[in-house]
Structure 1
Amino acid sequence: MRNDSDRLFVLTGGPGSGKTTLIEALRQAGYTTSIEAGRGIIRDQSTIGGSALPWRDRALFAELMLAWEMRSYRNAIERKGPVFFDRGVPDTLGYLRLSSLPVPEHISAAAKHVRYNPRVFVAPPWPEIFAQDQERKQTFDEAERTYHALVGVYGELGYELVPLPLAPVEARLRFVLTETGLV
Structure 2
Amino acid sequence: MIYFCAMQQKIVLIGGPGTGKTTIINELIKKGYYCMPEVSREVTLKAKEDGIDQLFLTEPLLFSKMLLEGRENQYLKATDLKKDIVFFDRGIPDVHAYMDYFKTEYPDYFIEKCKKYEYTKIFHFSPWEEIHTTDNERYESFVESVQIDKFLVKAYSDLGYNLINVPFGSIEERTNFILNSLTSE
Same fold (TM over 0.5): yes
Partner of 1:146: 148
Q: What is the CA-CA distance between 1:50 and the residue it aligns to?
A: 4.3
Aligned ranges 1:43-82 → 2 under 5 Å: 43-50=45-52, 53-80=55-82, 81-82=84-85
Distance in 1, Cα, partners of 2:132 & 2:8: 31
Considering only aligned residues, what root-mean-square deviation do their CA atoms show, in Å?
Answer: 1.8
Change (3 A) 1:147 1:100: same
Structure 1, unmatched stretches of 5+, are: none
CA contact (8 A) 1:122 1:164 kept: yes
Instruction: State yes or no: 1:111 paired with 2:114.
Output: yes
Q: Which moved more, 1:45-54 or 1:87-96?
A: 45-54
| Deviation sequence 1:125-178 (CA, Å, 0-9, x none) | 000000111001111111001111000010010101001111111101100000
CA contact (8 A) 2:8 2:86 kept: no
SS in structure 2 of the partner of residue 180 of structure 1: helix
Partner of 2:130: 128
Aligned residue type for 1:123: F
Partner of 1:97: 100
Structure 2, unmatched stretches of 5+, are: none
Percent identity over paired residues: 32
SS in structure 1 of the partner of residue 56 of structure 2: coil
Distance in 2, Cα, partners of 1:11 & 1:101: 24
Partner of 1:161: 163
Distance in 1, Cα, partners of 2:112 & 2:54: 22
SS in structure 2 of the partner of residue 25 of structure 1: helix
- Runs of 4+ deviating beyond 6 Å: none
Partner of 1:84: 87
